[in-house]
Structure 1
Amino acid sequence: MNVNTAVTRSDTQVLTSNKMLKNTYMLLAMTLLFSAMTAGAAMYLNMPHPGMIVTMVGYFGLLFLTTKLSNSAWGLVSVFALTGFMGLTLGPIISMYVQSFSNGHQLVMTALGGTGVIFLGLSAYALTTRKDFSFLGGFLMVGVLVAFLAGIGAIVFSLPGLSIAVSAMFILLMSGMILFQTSEIIHGGETNYILATVSLYISIYNLFLSLLQILGIFGGDD
């Protein structure tokens, strides 16, 4: 009786985890596509970058709204609003690289390809091994906070060396976040696919930007 109960619970957990993964990856794919569309629109319209303050207010405001609405149908609306807004902020950055470097298109595509390889590789590793990476949570939160503050310092005080270091930190931290977030979905630590989608989207967004900045510094041709 106890064995049968344990097996039933295990099967139920696996089914729930698989459904969660399916919903998360479907929504993630749609939000990435929508974000790419808004980024393309921003580039086509030659929209200026809104600036750090507007970006931060819009990002944290929409992130808070998405978190509050994550258990309702309106959560889907807010997650597209968030990712669409982030796409609008990304478009002018991509335009800057394309216009500033003769190999700008190559830099963007390389960063995009690198982001895809890292995300797919780490996700596949977490899904295949089914290891529990929850122990990374505290370290990653502290690391992201330190890197975020260092990034603001690099912008405010115009410190190129610190900016490079922050980009490298974010590549490592976002890679760790992908492992952590995927593990949370597998092992039931995250049961809301909207929040899971937002977490993975943010990791992919920051990973792409960090790779693009590193490539621009070391591989950009004026």
Structure 2
Amino acid sequence: MNRTSPFPTDVGRGQQSSVLATNKVIRNTYMLLSVTLLFSALTAGVSMALALPHPGMIITLVGYFGLLFLTTKLRNSAGGIVAVFALTGFMGYTLGPIISHYLNMPNGTQTVMTAMAATGAIFLGLSGYALTTRKDFSFMGGFLMVGILVAFLAGLGAIFFSIPALSLTVSAAFVLLMSGLILYETSNIIHGGETNYIMATVTLFVSIFNLFTSLLHLLGFMNDD
């Protein structure tokens, strides 16, 4: 007589192990993301308090991509944690002068707070949707990669040629692209496509950062008398 074994099969153990590993990545990612967001806010606050000037586009790009490369290289070691804090701290420093600029505008405090609240609501809403529905958004990967590259190059063009309309269009595009990236990366973690919580944290942090600055730009334009 065939009987069902009371002990888990190899397949069952494999599935259970996969679920536990995924849950661990999710837990570690959101824990590290929370700490890095606080650290970035701290460096932004220090930058604002000391009235530090913005480092400029070239230093910002070199610093960002250099620290991103370092984080990627060290992602499987303890040094990766240090690199993540260096990256997010640097991004917080560059954000300080930007926030100061908007605070000095008419209704500046309201603009900054609205952008912050909208960013939090979008992130929590999209992350919660991906986590609860467990839908697979991997099909968005190619579109997001191309879209972000095009929007990035268009943003550089808007800066070099001083085209405000193009700059606003890029900001609107980044709001949509970063929202899609939040869905994509959260889904990627859930379905085992991303198993490194350091890289998952960086992706989500960059998404939140760009989402906030893009909303700030759009709201600042609408509130500018």
Q: What is the DSSP-based 3-state SS (H/G/I as helix, E as strand, rest coil) of the residue aligned with 1:188?
A: coil
**Alignment equivalent of 1:22, drawn from 13, 22, 27:** 27
- State the Cα distance separating 1:4 from its structure 2 match: 3.0
Report what 2:187 is aligned to.
Answer: 183
Aligned 1:118-157 pairs, distance under 5 A: 118-157=122-161
Aligned 1:1-222 pairs, distance under 5 A: 4-99=9-104, 101-220=105-224, 222=225
Instruction: Give runs of ≥4 in structure 1 deviating > 4 Å.
Output: none
In structure 2, C-alpha distance between the alignment counterparts of 1:62 and 1:197, rounded to whole Å: 14
| Greater radius of gyration (CA) | 2
- State the Cα distance separating 1:135 from its structure 2 match: 0.7
Structure 2 unaligned runs (5+)?
none
Give a deviation string over 1:24-66, Cα, whole Å, max 9, x none.
Answer: 0000000000000000000000000000000000000000000
In structure 1, C-alpha distance between the alignment counterparts of 2:127 and 2:16, rounded to whole Å: 22
In structure 2, C-alpha distance between the alignment counterparts of 1:161 and 1:212, rounded to whole Å: 15
- State the Cα distance separating 1:14 from its structure 2 match: 1.3
In structure 1, C-alpha distance between the alignment counterparts of 2:120 and 2:22, rounded to whole Å: 23
Give the letter for the 1:142 counterpart: V
Residues 106 and 223 of structure 2 are in contact (CA less than 8 Å); yes or no, is this contact kept in structure 1? no
Structure 1 unaligned runs (5+)?
none
Say which is worse superposed, 201-210 or 8-17, in terms of deviation. Answer: 8-17
TM-score scaled to structure 1, two decimals? 0.96
Percent of residue pairs identical:
68
In structure 1, C-alpha distance between the alignment counterparts of 2:13 and 2:180, rounded to whole Å: 32
In structure 1, C-alpha distance between the alignment counterparts of 2:125 and 2:13, rounded to whole Å: 31
What root-mean-square deviation, in Å, do the aligned CA atoms of Structure 1 and Structure 2 show? 1.1
Q: What is the DSSP-based 3-state SS (H/G/I as helix, E as strand, rest coil) of the residue aligned with 1:131?
A: coil
Residues 172 and 218 of structure 2 are in contact (CA less than 8 Å); yes or no, is this contact kept in structure 1? yes
In structure 1, C-alpha distance between the alignment counterparts of 2:146 and 2:68, rounded to whole Å: 19
Q: What is the DSSP-based 3-state SS (H/G/I as helix, E as strand, rest coil) of the residue aligned with 2:152?
A: helix
- State the Cα distance separating 1:12 from its structure 2 match: 1.5
